[in-house]
Structure 1
């Protein structure tokens, strides 16, 4: 009898232990499965949602509003997305702020100036810039007046304003010379008012900042103005100018500029390539009708 009772006890204990193990295992399994699912599912979801589209390269570019700002806006909307370039356009209303921002690293490149202006500005402010060539477009300098319809009507001792930076002053003086109002010393570059050797009408030349040319136009007899300021004022160089600079002066064409040493930056090279695109040239021809000239 004792042997039978002992065996029964062991049998009950064994059955109880087995049941407890089964209950414990059944409670634990969902937690273990849940842990596995937690680790696997997010990565599976991430993999499913991941695209192969590369991130766009961001670049900050300084411009003057017209025409450079409008041209770059065309590039930003129509060409840059496909090229993977995210262009932030930073607009300045004067040349000094634009180059100061470049020097200080506020922008990566700018698009508003020609090479002679860039070189002169760099020398005066003790830093080097790099200009991409061939250039993008030419803003021809013209002679404008609110008072006279023809250069023949310009009176003796007329007050004439020209830009105060050396390169654009030279351009305006050359247009005055080609119009027969003055004669300059030969082979002087850049020429200044001091290089005038003949002045048949004894015109009075005053150098002023380029941005002041249009606001002061009603108060003067004649003004030599670069094309960007003319377009910004809603005028057209080819139609409203009394005389205009030759389109052959491509040294004064506007281009992309950056700090020396950054010209190999892939973003800036891509920007330049987009601005040289044939679609940009056609946009310039269509929109500006000769007031801005694309460079071949």
Structure 2
């Protein structure tokens, strides 16, 4: 009888051990297969891109569950990211991030990786080329620091003005050293670009805003940015709150953006106006 009881006890212990191992294996398996949940904040055409990415087979393969949140104002979107209400944002250039960090020293952001250069363009309803822009012409320029300096650099590259040698990412019209045509500048909300074309001689318009206005920077602008050393700080990035930039799940988003299938969609959907840039962050500095 005692032997029988011993066998029953032994059998029960073995069964419990097997159940315990099975539960551990199941829980480990479940944990490994639980998707990383990430909220991506965006705006304009970037919002559309990330909606597509969130639903893509590539995101599923990387075990990412992406929720895309639209916040139309750039400062508010950066604030939401700095406060961790948004995990990662996708809308801004590296120079825009630098300008934000300079003004928000207690709640800084950090870049995760590069995505593309979306060329800034000079547009006009009155003239067909930069050389036709007359003396005394009025140029509409963005009223936020990062895009103001970016626009002035483009005007210099186009041969319309000269800037001081140490012109920085937060430079403005006071840094113009030569303005042979006596150009005048009208500051505008940079989301209104296409709507002001009939009231100025030319306007500097970001490609996201241009696309919303049915303009293609490669075909409709008088002049636009190219990918080179002078525009490297205008390359768009994925950004997160400072301190979160090393999270592996967030880093996956950079790799995901550059997947060939995703790039094929972006190329077709935006007529080649989002020029892919896959560079280390050190390239931007």
Sort the TM-score into its range (normalised by shorter chain). Answer: 0.7 to 0.9
Secondary structure of the structure 2 residue equivalent to 1:263:
coil
- Give the corresponding residue for 2:253: 271
**Which of 259, 269, 288 is the matching residue for 2:241?**
259
Point out the more displaced range, 249-258 or 163-172.
Answer: 163-172
Deviations 1:9-35 (A, max 9, x none): xxxxxxxxxxxxxxxxxxxxxxxxxxx
Contact 1:57 1:84 in 2 (8 A): yes
Q: Kindly indicate whether the alpha-carbon contact (under 8 Å) linking 1:175 and 1:245 is maintained by their aligned counterparts in 2.
A: yes
The more displaced of 281-290 and 231-240 is 281-290
Q: Across the two proteins, how many residue pairs are aligned to each other?
A: 247
TM-score by length of 1: 0.77
Larger Rg: 1
**Partners of 1:225 and 1:59 in 2: CA distance:** 31
Unaligned runs of 5+ in 1: 1-42
For residues 106-135 of structure 1, what are the alpha-carbon distances to aligned partners after superposition, in whole Å with 9 as ceiling and x for unaligned?
A: 2111011122211211221222111023x1
Deviation at 1:103, TM superposition (A): 2.2
The answer on whether the counterparts of 1:284 and 1:294 sit within 8 Å (CA) in structure 2 is no
Matched residue, 1:115: 94
Q: 2:208 aligns with which of 191, 207, 228?
A: 228
Q: 1:281 pairs with 254, 263, 272, which one?
A: 263
Unaligned runs of 5+ in 2: 1-18, 279-285
Question: Counterparts of 1:266 and 1:225 in 2: how far apart (Å)?
Answer: 35
CA contact (8 A) 1:60 1:88 kept: yes
Over the aligned positions, Cα root-mean-square deviation in angstroms equals 2.2
> For residue 136 of structure 1, what is the aligned residue in structure 2?
115
Give runs of ≥4 in structure 1 deviating > 3 Å.
Answer: 50-53
- In structure 2, the residue matched to 1:97 is 76
Task: Map Cα deviations across residues 85-118 of structure 1 (whole Å, 9 max, x no partner).
Answer: 1111111222112112112322111011122211
Equivalent pair of 1:59/1:85 in contact (CA under 8 Å): yes
Preserved CA contact (<8 Å) 1:156 1:202 = yes
Give the TM-score taking structure 2 as reference length: 0.79
